[in-house]
A and B are shown apart, each in its own frame.
Chain A
């Protein structure tokens, strides 16, 4: 059985600046995985490289043993919320239906089944009541749920979420993590770029600690330890984290 994501010797540089340096990763299937590291550690770059969005990379990425170009349907990406034009003339339903695009050839139209799947995804994230609203007329938390609903609608086996909890209210955060858990129980593999170190233990089965290279990858309990955290973040973050725990 091939791993959902297999990264071999991945290195990425922008303008001669090394962002990722010989990354090797064999991701376990069906886990909810936190991707952690300080700003500039290359988290987003790692995501983009896995998704085949960067052209000049060294090394290889395999999705279920195949090249990304052959496995696009099986992988869904939820980008950061601030990268979106919220004035765009599209409703929540339009966006969620985008999740069905990879299924369709050029000549196929959206059918009843697609609309049903979109409806189920919106229901799952409690945004069905906003289905016909323009996306700009939503709160931050609702907007984030729209993109997660699109990923659900895509029925991908791998979901990659870039900072889904930034700028959302606590209720949405709980809602999203509940849905992510459910997905991982269904056997989906989920990678989540995450910033708040205090909630790592509560949220993730596994963590990847990254700082230009892989510092550690494994079960949260054995991997998310001070030794590794300080290697990734530098010593002062460990102290901040401990202060956070005693609060």
Chain B
């Protein structure tokens, strides 16, 4: 069937107008229903109108206005019953809602079957799933009035609704009639439910109320925008749902509800800020950043800023050559590390600086955990290992300041200052430079060799000679170190 041709039929046009109006009405009102945690009440109200419909039918026959007022009265009765029981009887709130709406609904169903025994036919199915293709002009006027009323009410009482939804207590202290707003919203809800009954039916009304609103809440961070978006999404769900149903000959109500759900799911996945995809992408980026930074730090510790051969890295990191290449690639792209030969690497100045800042963040955070949080020095490494990647440089500076610019971390290692690359190998120092032997050496054998020479961690020295061997002045004593060994000794430069 050609869609454009169908739309020229009056019944199709009426269906289209009715369902778009219902989409907008329920979308906007639904935002408040969702924010007030009243989704279940919406569901309850829509089921509870059935006895009202039956009674109205008995009194007025098949009459739109009769159905309207019968439904609204039944809806409000159930709302009052729910609120009264919740306040006066010790039953859980959501249980009360369940009790009341199933009772009302059942009475309605019994009523319908009782009527049909007298020979008059009232189709239960129309009320359960809607009959949008049978919308009359009278129905359109009723639905249109409800839409205008809902939009006007939201416009006029916006501040009241906003305040009483966000903080009812504060709204009361400001003199806003919170209880009256609650019942007024219930009234609007009853109106909307009746209007939506024709399009999607009472079972699916709640989908029109909460699905577009929940979608809008994923996208917007201010209430006015949520209201507008929710209306638009409700409108779009209705139109496209109806189009699908006509085109593929599906039941209209469920098509509209499923379309709304599809839009919701798409949004949940692809929303720019809160979407699952965006979250996943951010987490992945963070993980890669952490991996790259950890590698940078490790290379820094192993190489001490010197040229380092791939074989040493492979051994220390226990990685395969291809894996290493893959991990190092992003560092090379950011010019933090360069190839000095086919299999040799060296950190650039900015690479050393960044690694140094990581060490600084790590050690400062460890100090913070011990001195401010009272944690034990043995328990802090893992947490610091995470936080070094998360803290911004200004946060690190703030920690530094609060701790009073400590020189050593809880393990006794010196805390480097910002940006200065003070952790070096001995051979990178020149005559007259002053330094101290680092706490941690690249290997136990280096520590042993130093110990044999009479040098321990933290010992301060001054360089008096470089070349084939290095002469270190330690206190009043001079120690000679071969250049080959000097390359492997980790020192901290003192300015």
Contact = CB atoms under 8 A, between A and B. Distances in A.
A75 B74 CA distance: 40
B448 to A, nearest CB: 46
A204 interface: no
B222 interface: yes
B222 A89 contact: yes
B170 A77 contact: yes
Contacts of A98: 162-163, 166, 170, 174
Chain B binding surface, main DSSP class: helix
Contact of B166 (A51, A73, A90, A134): A90
A88 B226 CA distance: 11
Contact of B159 (A51, A53, A101): A101
B221 A134 contact: yes
Given A89-B223, A89-B225, A51 B163 contact: no
Contacts of B172: 51-53
| Most central of A77, A89, A101, A102 by chain B CB within 10 Å | A89
Interface residues of A, number: 26
Contacts of A21: none
Contacts of B167: 79, 83-84
Given A94-B223, A101-B163, A106-B156, A89 B217 contact: yes
Contacts of A84: 167
Nearest to A151: B170
B175 A83 contact: no
Given A53-B169, A88-B166, A101 B174 contact: yes
Contact of A91 (B157, B159, B165, B221): B221
A69 B165 CA distance: 21
B223 A90 contact: yes
A88 B157 CA distance: 18
B173 A91 contact: no
A72 B170 CA distance: 11
Contacts of B160: 106
Interface string B153-196: 00011011011011101101111100000000000000000000
A245 interface: no
A69 B222 contact: no
B325 to A, nearest CB: 40
A77 B159 CA distance: 18
B324 interface: no
B220 interface: yes
Contacts of A94: 162, 222-223
A148 B156 CA distance: 27
| Most central of B159, B163, B170, B172 by chain A CB within 10 Å | B170
A72 B225 contact: no
Interface of A: 51-53, 69, 72-73, 75-77, 79, 83-85, 88-91, 94-95, 98, 101-102, 104, 106-107, 134
5 contacts: A69-B175, A72-B173, A89-B223, A98-B170, A134-B221
Interface of B: 35, 156-157, 159-160, 162-163, 165-167, 169-170, 172-176, 217, 220-223, 225-226
